[in-house]
Amino acid sequence: MTQLVAIHGHFYQPPRENPFTGEVPAEQGAEPYHDYNAKITAESYRPNALAGNFDRISFNIGPTLIGWLDRHDHETYRRIQEADRVHRQTCGVGNAIAQPAHHTILPLARRRDKITQIKWGMASFIHRFGRQPRGMWLPEMAVDLVTLEILSRRGLSFTILSEEQVQGEVRGDAGPYRVRLPGGGFFAVFVRDRQLSNQLSFATDQIAAGRDWLADQVRGRQGLTLIATDGETFGHHQRRGVQLLADLLRDEPAAPYEMATLTDYLRTHAPTREIELIERTAWSCSHHLDRWDRGCGCTPGDHSWKPILRSALDLLADEIDAIYLYELRRLFSNPWLLVDQYIDVVLGVADTGLLIRENTSAKLTTGQNLRIGKLVQAQLHRQRMFTSCGWFFEKLDRPEPRYVIAQAACAIHLVRQGTGIDLGPEFREALCAARCGKGKAIPGVPTHTAADLYDEVAAANPLA
Ligand SMILES: [Zn+2]
């Protein structure tokens, strides 16, 4: 019997643009390229697209990344779109799936943010691929039932989890399985093989002949085997990854296994076996969601800055929302709908002024229009403050935490422009206790804190 294998690639980069200028700054370590987006495109996205690898894998590509590719490497962008279109022509379904807009850890986000992230991710997908998505990748595979319930209500039907995140009738194959939703009904889940996925991601050097290795691994298995990993594994993290992936995907007569894609497989294999989620878990950390919240042993050293940064941003988000609702509730029957639709402005297919007018029957003055425009734009940066990269690594003084602080500074700036209210001092105070490299302080030299990082953003962007 021929074994079936699916490989899913999660392709993602955070939006590296300075939120004040819209430009990606030159990044240290990316040389000879200007920044990491350019470097990873040259090493992974472009060669994988040229090799035809997107045609035969399942994949999701972060909305911020695919937007960057559209602007900076249009040919690669076009090939990725084309891969989905050809798959749709051949199989009746595309092989791309959607992703929430900003790689937010959804179980840590409040319900309102979950909805916005999911709606924005779906709108971005429709804009890029010209069709409704069927599945959605969850950032870090971080999952809870509320998130699945919202995905289901938005018309999505499946996601991907890792085997350690589920329990019950898991029989070693990828499923699809079904998870019972609290409000009734089921949601489909494909379960990846953790060991195989990790071997392909982190032990590529030990895999001499890719096809023989995979054939050995899946021999005698029943059903579908799923390998799911970061797409950047292929070419960026692992130099020979592009060729290895092309080799694994190659179609040939009498092959020891056949490749499948998740959407195509789901078409003919309705989930019947039920499993349970282990809620508030993720694929890259075994400590539930601590890595992005209170910190955990996956990032050695002092991680006391993590919960402080998160609570400072939560507080700021509360304040931004309170101002937003105070300003808009009198004029808009559903102020959040305006936020959800603002993704069309980000995608360049709508105009802020028109969108505002469409959402209210009130006759707004030019001043009101401008004010509301600033507040809804602030909501974009307030969403971007929670991109998971900010908490992923061990050090506060890295580009990723600086990045979320810069988004916060930009949101603060827009609120101030719109209303005259300055949320900066309170936010800055909340950051003071988050120290970089605690314990290494030199006597007489002030300890560097997240508040200093905020000041640096403000100094570099005088508007802030
Ligand atoms: Zn951990």
Q: What is the DSSP string of 241-302?
A: HHHHHHHHH---TT-SEEE--HHHHHHH----SEEEE-SSB-SS-SSTTGGGTT--TTS-S-
CA of 348 to the centre of ligand 1 (A): 38
CA of 286 to the centre of ligand 1 (A): 5
Low-confidence residues of the chain, pLDDT below 70?
1, 438-447, 464
And the tokens for 460? 């570099």
CA of 9 to the centre of ligand 1 (A): 22
- Distance from the Cα of residue 453 to its chain's centroid: 24
CA of 300 to the centre of ligand 1 (A): 10
Model pLDDT, residue 414: 98
CA of 422 to the centre of ligand 1 (A): 36
CA of 178 to the centre of ligand 1 (A): 27
- The answer to whether the CB of 408 falls within 8 A of the CB of 424 is no
Tell me the CA distances in angstroms from 372 to 131, 166, 445, one per residue in order.
31, 44, 43
pLDDT (tens digit per residue) in 226-266 = 999 999 999 999 989 999 999 999 988 878 899 999 999 99
- Rounded Cα gap, residues 48 and 119, in angstroms: 29
CA of 288 to the centre of ligand 1 (A): 7
Residue type, 124: S
CA of 57 to the centre of ligand 1 (A): 29
User: How many CA atoms lie within 13 Å of 15's alpha carbon, on the beta-carbon side?
Assistant: 26
Q: Residue 191: beta bridge partners?
A: 161
Model pLDDT, residue 170: 83
- Rounded Cα gap, residues 72 and 439, in angstroms: 42
Tell me the CA distances in angstroms from 105 to 32, 140, 386, 392, 433, one per residue in order.
32, 7, 8, 11, 23
Query: Which residues have CB under 8 Å from 90's CB, separation 6+?
Result: none
pLDDT (tens digit per residue) in 129-139 = 999 999 999 99
CA of 289 to the centre of ligand 1 (A): 8
Asked whether the whole model's pTM tops 0.85, one would answer: yes
The closest alpha carbon to 408, from 388, 433, 380, 432, belongs to 380
CA of 155 to the centre of ligand 1 (A): 32
CA of 431 to the centre of ligand 1 (A): 23
CA of 266 to the centre of ligand 1 (A): 32
- The answer to whether the CB of 261 falls within 8 A of the CB of 95 is yes
CA of 296 to the centre of ligand 1 (A): 5
CA of 159 to the centre of ligand 1 (A): 22
CA of 237 to the centre of ligand 1 (A): 21
